[in-house]
Amino acid sequence: MKGTTFQNFDVFNRSKLTIFHWLALFSICIVVGFRYEVGTDWQGYKEWFEYFKIVSFDSLDKLNFELGFLILNYGLAKLDADYTLMFSLMALISWVFIFKGITANILPLFLFLVFADEYFFWSMNVIRQFMCLAIFLYAIRFIVQRKAKEYFFFVLIAILFHTSAAILILFYFIPWGKIYKPKYWFIAFLISIFLANTPLIFSFVETALFTVGEIIPLFSIYIRYFESGKFGAAQLDVGLGYIFRLAVAIFIFIYCNSVTEKYPKTKIFFVLFFIGSIVYNLFYMVQLIGRINHYFLFMRPVILSVIIYYLWTEENKRYVSLLILFLYFIIFLVTIYNSSNDNSPYQFRLG
């Protein structure tokens, strides 16, 4: 490939789904849908689906689920469908948005990195929020193209499946191009590393969340995390995984300007990731913030795909692309060995 190839590359080109794409989609849906006792939240989703088979329609408003999830589950349950169909259908919706949201030039790279970066394992636990991430990935094009109606339409769909997607409304009004200042983001990134796991951070988030919940009722639902103890801080584990992700973030900072000079529209992906990496460092121990922060960190596989594609167009830098892919393959094997998100060993439902 020559440099001019990359200049013609458009990250927002919609991928036309071929028969091979659909075969890949259905393969993913089978793996996700027919898994058995795989994933931290598998049992919970299965039990809720079985509960929908006996609950009346009038009782749905008493359940603490978003409308889209309720309708999809209740409809399938009343059709006497099996829970495997629910898992498969939600996976199909999510991955179609991903396949359509990423241009064919980097789709294979992106899919590999989604698996290697643990997002595939994560998707089988928080299936509602993963659908929102997939929808957002597709809808980003409408921010860049300044198509408000289209963007808010898809954000609304995402909110119907997970309340946290309401934060995406604000993204349309942020001048992503103007705040693309890698030098300043990198300084903030370095500072955030030294402030990680500070008790003051947890106290600040608690106060801020209660304040926002009083102003915006939609977010008040998350206040219950404090009452249930799910919001609590987790111990910061400075292991190889954490260090590797720090190294990847620095790698992205190194190449961000080279990529954005070739393709300026990718700036929004970089700024989203810059924010996500800083929030990750500061609030690593706060589980709720970590869940919301995935809307930012999910840009990491996108950015790495573009960078690797870019480096491959530079013949003297191809070895860097191969090195990154090799390291991520090793990480992928390690995550399987460590049973990331309780997804290993994988069990296939036979009966």
Instruction: Name the percent of the chain lying above pLDDT 90.
Output: 54
Task: Give the three-class secondary structure for 324.
Answer: helix
- pTM value? 0.88
Output Rg (C-alpha) for the chain, integer angstroms.
20
Q: Distances from the Cα of 348 to the Cαs of 37, 83, 119, 205, 334, in angstroms? A: 9, 14, 20, 41, 21
pLDDT at 4: 39
CB atoms within 10 A of CB 108: 12
Whether 266 shows a pLDDT value over 80: the answer reads: yes
Whether 105 shows a pLDDT value over 90: the answer reads: no
Which band of pLDDT confidence, cut at 50, 70 and 90, is reported for residue 7? Answer: very low
pLDDT at 268: 95
pLDDT at 6: 47
Structure tokens at 114: 């989604």
Q: Supply the DSSP symbol for 193.
A: H
Q: How far apart are CA 338 and CA 121, in angstroms?
A: 12
Helices (H), the chain: 3-7, 19-33, 42-52, 67-78, 83-101, 107-116, 119-123, 127-144, 148-159, 168-171, 182-194, 199-215, 224-228, 240-262, 267-282, 287-292, 294-297, 299-313, 318-337
pLDDT at 12: 74
Whether 2 shows a pLDDT value over 50: the answer reads: no
Q: How far apart are CA 80 and CA 130, in angstroms?
A: 25
Q: What is the pLDDT of residues 24-70, one digit of tens each?
A: 999 999 999 999 888 888 898 999 888 888 888 777 776 778 889 99
CA angle 345, 346, 347 (to 5 degrees): 115
Q: What is the mean pLDDT of the chain?
A: 85
> Which sequence spans correspond to the domains of the chain?
3-197+233-342
pLDDT at 202: 64
Query: What's the average model confidence in pLDDT over 190-213?
Result: 72
CB 273 within 8 A of CB 113: no
**For the stretch 237-266, what's the b/e string if a residue is b when 16 or more beta carbons lie within 10 angstroms of its beta carbon?**
eeeeeeeebbebbeebbebbeebbeebebb
pLDDT at 1: 40
Name the residue with higher pLDDT: 226 or 49: 49
User: Is the omega angle on the peptide bond into residue 345 within 30 degrees of 0, that is, cis?
Assistant: yes
Whether 234 shows a pLDDT value over 70: the answer reads: no
